[in-house]
């Protein structure tokens, strides 16, 4: 799309995220993308008094940090959601595994001791999908399409999943599915 005459175009670059001060977001020259990264705050050359100190990026809960360390694939555009994940968890809920996934945008797929959930927070939209373990009947990963589907009925050709997201890394999909099997009565991950 061309810019109107007289309006200067901003070149493509990583810029401060307009929705989260702790992130940077990629501007492709025409619009904001879903690609984010943690904003690095450089230490000032001259130390400031403690009163003016700006708090660093909030630390992650230990269970989320441990699950994040086990991720093998790239966390494309998911750090914002990982930083927000603690606010979506229930009391006594622990994250067992997580990975980057794509629903309406790039977000995070997390397996907890109580449920499987997907979180995406975009500039305009949010998507939050969840299935509690007492409802889950099956998890299926289709390698060809990289679709990770969670069913509340027995997975068959005609069954409609409770939710489906794309997981780019098979090893991460397997890690989430193994955590799901350990946390619930859900059957093993079926790979097609």
In a domain, 40, yes or no: no
Q: What is the pLDDT along the chain (192 residues), one digit of tens a residue?
A: 445 454 456 788 888 887 777 778 888 888 888 778 777 766 556 655 554 444 444 588 899 888 888 886 667 667 888 888 989 999 899 999 998 888 888 899 998 998 999 998 888 888 899 998 888 888 888 888 888 888 888 888 899 999 999 988 888 888 887 887 777 654 555 554
Instruction: Report d(CA 78, CA 84) in Å as an integer.
Output: 10
Instruction: Report d(CA 106, CA 125) in Å as an integer.
Output: 12
| Structural domain harbouring 149 | 62-191
In a domain, 123, yes or no: yes
CB contact at 8 A, 148 and 165 = yes
In a domain, 165, yes or no: yes
Is the four-CA dihedral 162, 172, 34, 65 of positive or negative sign?
A: positive
In a domain, 111, yes or no: yes
How many residues are listed for the chain in this entry? 192
- We report the CATH number of the domain holding residue 142 as 2.30.29
pTM above 0.75, yes or no: no
Q: Give me the number of domains the chain comprises.
A: 1
In a domain, 149, yes or no: yes
In a domain, 168, yes or no: yes
In a domain, 34, yes or no: no
In a domain, 46, yes or no: no
């Amino acid at each position: 799309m061309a810019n109107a005459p007289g309006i200067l175009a901003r070149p493509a670059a990583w810029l401060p995220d307009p929705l989260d001060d702790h992130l940077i977001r990629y501007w492709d020259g025409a619009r904001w993308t879903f690609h984010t990264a943690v904003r690095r705050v450089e230490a000032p050359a001259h130390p400031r008094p403690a009163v003016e100190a700006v708090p660093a990026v909030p630390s992650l809960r230990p269970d989320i940090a441990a699950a994040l360390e086990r991720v093998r694939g790239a966390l494309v555009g998911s750090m914002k959601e990982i930083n927000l994940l603690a606010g979506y968890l229930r009391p006594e809920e622990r994250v067992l595994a997580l990975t980057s996934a794509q629903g309406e945008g790039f977000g995070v797929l997390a397996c907890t001791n109580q449920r499987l959930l997907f979180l995406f927070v975009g500039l305009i939209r949010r998507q939050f999908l969840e299935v509690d373990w007492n409802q889950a009947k099956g998890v299926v990963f289709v390698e060809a399409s990289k679709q990770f589907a969670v069913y509340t009925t027995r997975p068959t050709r005609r069954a409609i999943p409770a939710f489906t997201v794309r997981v780019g890394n098979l090893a991460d999909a397997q890690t989430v599915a193994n955590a799901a099997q350990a946390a619930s009565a859900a059957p093993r991950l079926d790979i097609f």
